[in-house]
Structure 1
Amino acid sequence: MDIEDIKKASDIIWEQSVLPPLKEYITIPAVSPGFDKNWEQNGYLLKAAQLIETWCRQLGLNGCDIRLITPQGRTPLLLIDVQASDTKHTDMVLFYGHIDKQPEFSGWDDNKGPWKPVIENDRLYGRGGADDAYSVFCAMSAIKILQDKGLPHERCVLLIESAEESGSFDLDYYLDEYQGIIGTPSLVICLDSGCGDYERMWLTTSLRGGIFGVLTVKILTDGIHSGGSGAVASSFRIMRQLLDRIEDAETGDILIDELHAPVPEHRLEQMKVAAQVLGEDIITAFPLVDGATPVTDDRVQLLINQTWKPTLSYTGIDGVPALEKAGNVLRPKTSLALSFRLSPTADPQKASRKIKSVLEADPPYGAHVTFESPKTGNGWEMPELDPVLDRIIRQSGLDCYGREVGFLGEGGGIPLMNMLSKRFPKARFIVTGVLGPHSNAHGPNEFLHIPFVKTLTSTVACILSRRCGTH
């Protein structure tokens, strides 16, 4: 296998074939259904799926069946089935990615925007390019390179959904409905994760679970003049008292045991290696304001905090007017959107019930308190790799990047991974991605690091081909 030849082919296919449609995709506001209640009427998800379907067909892979599935009321699914290069290769690889996007968010640079593709300093800026439309281009390009070079590959099925950012609510249906096509993979490659830096391939070893809910405190039937304060507690002060039941405001520690799980020793050892490799980049990856510091200078502890320790973020507020409309009023209620991240192996359903009971019990001043948690997501820990696959991944990463493969957990979650682990308990998993330092998925100035993704495509191609030598 000529590694330099494969890397050159990846560079060509990205420059000549991939970047133009990927830039066009960025212009489509294909926001995930959870953020666009009229997604079906607006048609942006379908438009994005059709754009990518067209590119896949034009790529001209041998033995390739492409289906764009659009049942009434369900989000579009791209299901692509590429037959093995030879019938003697009987195993199957399942690729996963998604094409729905997070909302716009504010704060983009003046020359950039969520629906405005800009290439600057080898980075493609715009919403959704890195999270996660690149995935289908990467997987299909890797297979194309192998076919053009006459190198072997197993049967590959691509499952590209359009509701991941909303919890993958249609995926169970599709997995059941098309089980006959999908079959039973021996390897799952998920291209929707992160990387510690842009110098090497990174395998995601764990994903935190999630609980997303709204805490509401109501103390008055109507707003009153703030002269009534002192006689009636403010709903915000009551909110603070309730939050102190679940989070230590000084340390950020979560006070509910059900959100915690111990860090396995081998994961801790991987974090120590990653901390040594990444060094100060662990800290500089975050856009801190001048003079601000992270919660600790201990780099290993920062990785534990970010990938295994439960946390609470406050992601939205209601019942509070904008500053320019803030009168002297004691408001009747306050609602906060709470986003919990919990240890990868903790039970989110059990934890959600406990949170609700702690927050709603004995409300101060008899206020009406509710915690509604419509969404929970399971965490995930990577099953151990078998020795042959481990060797293939490490060698392919080293050959293509020139550096050892890194192993690191991610602070976010991918709902599908736990689902697939349960459906395919004998499968091995490669979870990787392009969301590295400052790539800022979900925020302003999201970007795809172009040299990194070209090399990742080469690495995926090497892994696919080398697997054929293991059977």
Structure 2
Amino acid sequence: MTSEYTRAQAVREAATNGIPAALADLGSLVRIPSVAFPGFDPAEVRRSAEAVAALAEGLGIFDSVQISDSAIPGTDERGMPAVLASRAARNGRPTILLYAHHDVQPVGDEALWDSPPFEPTVRGGRIYGRGAADDKAGVMAHIGALRALTEALGTDFDLGVALFIEGEEEAGSRSFAQFLSDHADALRADVIVVADSGNWDDRTPALTVTLRGNARFTMSVRTLDHASHSGMFGGAVPDAMMATVKLLATLWNDDGSVAVEGLHSRVAETPEYTEETLRDEAGLPTGVSPIGTGSILDRIWNQPTVTVTGIDAPSVVNASNTLSPEVSVVISSRVAPGQKAQQAYAALEAHLQAHSPYGAQISFRDVDFGDGFLVDTSGWAVQVAREALHEGYGVEPVDLGVGGSIPFISDLVREFPEAQILVTGVEDPHARAHSPNESLHIETFRHALISEALLLEKLDAREPASGNTA
């Protein structure tokens, strides 16, 4: 048998040589507009799943590869197609579950894109296109790493592998929990790698160790039985827009921090992160002040937020001298790690009910919850992952908190409580996921793919006597 050093070098070389093919396959995936939201063509999501399944089949390592969906609990609907491939572990080696998703966000205003969103375009060392980073690059990091392992070691390696590429993450993962239940045996693993996060910058890798949760809902504010003339009744009758604006304003203090009793913050130290870096990465122009209190990363990683993400009201083009009877808004609250999302929602609802102006009638619907995540960093798999990241990037990895949410991770924790979960990713702070001109930094992708290939080699070489359970 070849030495462990030679194995690792062979895997690294195969991964490096495989980058062009992985990028070409990524381009093919980006060309498929796989938006899983209602109102978009579900056939494109199916086409994307078929393309991913073909890539998995082409590896020649899996006992089975299937495209599958599961029921959405409480409805007569089924979720979008996911790809599930698996091979059993041998000789006492661990099993790793590799997760990513092949669906993407809607494009939004295409006029804001500098190149067609579904035509991958290389500029300045980056590949631009919807899904180029989030998360088709995650898909290809998994495929590329498995290709490298297979090329270096052959198909007869001992590591167990489950590949789960979801098809509706951006649309809320509504069938995710049911999918886990339906396929629990095929998905059960010692280590789970979720390739749907980011890195400290385009040179420094990270393990995501905290994620905020999310509570999202629609609130309607009604003040009138019907629309009325603003000249005849304005000044005596509160219109719904006025009431909504005043009500929403109670959610924040003057400094922009959240003013809702019952929304918690987490106390934890954060690395140095300057306002200059924030302005650069977030696109915050000179003259616009940051909001909140505490260190910048504490605000992003450990404190709650409240954001109005949508509103149904008369548009500018349809404006008339009318008192609006009802206005609806979508509110998204990022919940600090450690607080249950349902508890946070209860605090928000109580606050809004208590502060409703002029006796306005408010109602709530379309409530969604997703709990945050705190990683136990003491597990053996975390240490192995850090070693692989260091070797792949040539830079020591950092532990990262993320202000965003990956709600389905709480489902993974519940279904597979013994598994060690590693949250990684290929994005850098300039990836602009979910925004126009989303892009992938090519060098970051190269390092991420090599790191994952080295991680797979380390797990395949892990001796059974050293223990392979979380």
Distance 2:207 2:275 in 1: 18
* Partner SS state of residue 135, structure 2: helix
1:301 to 288, 295, 314: 295
Partner of residue 192, structure 1:
196
> What is the CA-CA distance between 1:109 and the residue it aligns to?
5.0
Q: State the partner residue of 1:135.
A: 138
* Separation (CA, whole Å) in 1 of partners of 2:321 and 2:112: 36
Tell me how far 1:328 sits from its aligned partner. 2.2
1:174 partnered with 2:173: no
Partner of residue 437, structure 1: 429
Displacement of 1:186 in angstroms is 1.4
Q: CA deviation at 1:92?
A: 0.8
Is the 2:247–2:355 contact (alpha carbons within 8 Å) kept by the matching residues of 1?
no
Alignment of 1:65-464 (within 5 A): 65-70=64-69, 73-84=78-89, 87-106=90-109, 109=112, 111-150=114-153, 154-183=159-188, 185-227=189-231, 228-248=233-253, 250-264=254-268, 268=269, 271-272=270-271, 275=272, 280-295=276-291, 301-321=295-315, 323-361=316-354, 363-386=356-379, 388-464=380-456
Partner of 2:53: 53
Letter in 1 for 2:299: N
SS of equivalent to 2:462: helix
TM-score, with length taken from structure 2: 0.88
Q: CA–CA distance in 1 between the matches of 2:307 and 2:205?
A: 29
Partner Cα distance (2:10, 2:355) in 1: 68
Deviation of the 1:334 alpha carbon: 1.7
User: 2: CA distance between counterparts of 1:143 and 1:20?
Assistant: 16
1:390 deviates by: 3.9
Distance in 1, Cα, partners of 2:398 & 2:418? 24
Please report how far the alpha carbon of residue 380 of structure 1 lies from its aligned counterpart in structure 2 after TM superposition: 0.9
Which residue is 2:27 aligned to? 23
| Contact kept? 2:98, 2:161, Cα under 8 Å | yes
Matches of 2:191 and 2:291, distance apart in 1:
38
**Aligned 8 A contact 2:12 2:454 in 1:** no
Question: C-alpha offsets along residues 215-248 of structure 1, whole Å, 9 cap, x if unaligned?
Answer: 2211122322221221112322212332244322
Q: Deviations over 1:29-68 (max 9, x none)?
A: 2112xx32465xx41110110111122223x333452111
| C-alpha deviation, 1:8, in angstroms | 4.2
Q: Which of 397-406 and 357-366 deviates more?
A: 357-366
Deviation at 1:122, TM superposition (A): 2.0
Change (3 A) 1:6 1:180: closer
**More off after superposition, 287-296 vs 411-420:** 287-296
Secondary structure in 2 aligned to 1:426?
A: coil
CA drift at 1:113: 3.0
Q: Does 1:14 align with 2:42?
A: no
160-169 vs 282-291, greater mean Cα deviation = 282-291
Structure 1 residue 18: deviation in Å?
2.3
What SS does structure 2 have at the residue aligned with 1:95? strand
Q: Structure 2 CA distance, aligned partners of 1:318 and 1:63?
A: 48
What is the CA–CA distance in structure 2 between the aligned matches of 1:247 and 1:240, rounded to whole Å?
12
Distance 1:450 1:255 in 2: 41
Deviations 1:374-404 (A, max 9, x none): 2111111112232x43442232222221111
Superposed CA RMSD: 2.4
Structure 1 segments unaligned to the other structure (5+ residues): none
Change (3 A) 1:137 1:153: farther
Q: How many residues align?
A: 449
Tell me how far apart the structure 1 counterparts of residues 60 and 247 of structure 2 sit (CA, whole Å).
57
SS in 2 for 1:66: strand
- Aligned partner of 2:467 in structure 1 is none
1:252-308 Cα shifts (integer Å, max 9, x gaps): 2222343214324xxx1xx22xx26x8843441111234334337x9x711111111
Partners of 1:280 and 1:88 in 2: CA distance = 52
Q: Secondary structure at the match of 2:18?
A: helix
Look up the equivalent residue of 1:401 and give its one-letter code: Y
Contact 1:146 1:153 in 2 (8 A): no
Partner Cα separation in structure 2 for residue 287 and residue 153 of structure 1: 47
Query: Residues 80 and 310 (structure 1 numbering): CA distance in 2 closer, same or farther, change over 3 Å?
Result: same
Q: Secondary structure at the match of 2:133?
A: helix
- Report the AA paired with residue 222 of structure 1: H
Residue 211 of structure 1 contacts residue 373 of structure 1 at CA under 8 Å; is this kept in 2? no
- Local SS of the residue matching 2:185: helix
Write the deviation string for residues 160-190 of structure 1: whole angstroms up to 9, x where unpaired. Answer: 111112221112222111122223x211100
Q: Is the 8 A contact 1:113 1:445 kept in 2?
A: no
Give secondary structure in 2 for the equivalent of 1:189: strand
The TM-score with structure 1 as length reference comes to 0.88
State the Cα deviation string for residues 378-435 of structure 1 (Å, max 9, x = none).
Answer: 111112232x434422322222211110111111111221111122222212101122
Q: Distance in 1 between matches of 2:392 and 2:208?
A: 18
2:382–2:422 CA contact under 8 A, matched in 1: no
| Contact persistence 1:104–1:127 (CA under 8 A) | yes
